[in-house]
Amino acid sequence: MPIPIQVINGKKTVTVLENNPLVMNALSTKLGLSPSLQFHDIYTLDSSSLTHIPSPIHALLVILPLTPAWHASRESEDAPLPLYTASGPSEPVVWFKQTIGHACGSIGLLHCLINGSARKYLLPNSLALQIREQAIPLQMDDRAKMLYDNEAFLNAHQSVAELGDTIAPDAETGDRLGQHFVAFVKGEDGNLWELEGSRKGPINRGFLGEEGLLSEKGVELGIGRVIKLEAESDGGDLRFSCIALAGGEE
């Protein structure tokens, strides 16, 4: 039996997921991604050492500790921003505000699947495709509520919660982990988008054009930006986990 979904302080709360290919490939399958795409571990950001990763790379899913430097950067970026109000088919990416406790992993995964080039690998009538189509016309809060009320999505999350290399944490332990899942995708507009449900909206990190997510420019604008923040703050090594969604035809 999967771990039950809890209601804590009036909010549905699921189990924290591990950021590894075993877990995320299993959840991707349940959400309806074609098996021609798979997640792979990224052990280095040096593109010359990534020859074992199939191409193209469609999305990156990263889990990062909320260090003081990154926290300060997030606060300063978010403070002047208005609430996100975009919706409709002209949105370059579909973004979800997170209102489900500890669902940052599955929402990060969803951001990887329903945006950019991975979207065309969603099977017809799949759960992820249904969620995307339902979300497009909705404003931020209605979109979040739609996902919050989607029992199939919540059950899919819980069904993979005990996979991975470590014992699934309880809710209290999950609260103490202090980590955030972030998805990086290239939108149809050619820009690198940083997608995280606890921010004020999707963040455009800059134009990539024909360059990939793990190109020198892609790393510099994306995960490399956080690594640089930490280095400049004398915070030491930034211990993060990164997996790449890759495969399919060029």
pTM for this entry: 0.93
Rounded to the nearest integer, the mean pLDDT of the chain is 90
Residue 176 confidence class, pLDDT cut points 50, 70, 90: very low
H or E element at residue 207: strand 203-207
Lowest mean pLDDT segment, chosen from 11-15, 74-78, 175-179, 213-217 = 175-179
H or E element at residue 63: strand 57-65
- Verify whether residue 180 is a known catalytic residue: yes
- Summarize pLDDT for 97-127 with one digit per residue, the tens: 999 999 999 999 999 999 999 999 999 999 9
- Summarize pLDDT for 205-227 with one digit per residue, the tens: 999 999 999 999 999 999 988 88
Q: Residues with Cβ < 8 Å from 42, sequence gap 6 or more?
A: 50, 53, 60, 214, 242, 243, 244
- Verify whether residue 104 is a known catalytic residue: yes
Question: How far from chain centre, in Å, is Cα 185?
Answer: 9
Q: Mean pLDDT over residues 172-179, rounded?
A: 55
DSSP state letter for 236: -
Residue 1 confidence class, pLDDT cut points 50, 70, 90: confident
How far is it, in rounded angstroms, from Cα 177 to Cα 192?
27
Residue 93 confidence class, pLDDT cut points 50, 70, 90: very high
Find the catalytic residue in 58, 102, 180, 242: 180
Helix, strand or coil for residue 181? strand
Backbone angles phi, psi at 81, to 5 degrees: -80, 140
Backbone angles phi, psi at 64, to 5 degrees: -130, 140
pLDDT at 174: 47
- Summarize pLDDT for 29-74 with one digit per residue, the tens: 999 999 999 999 998 887 767 778 888 999 999 998 888 888 888 9
Find the catalytic residue in 104, 111, 157, 242: 104
How far is it, in rounded angstroms, from Cα 161 to Cα 6?
13
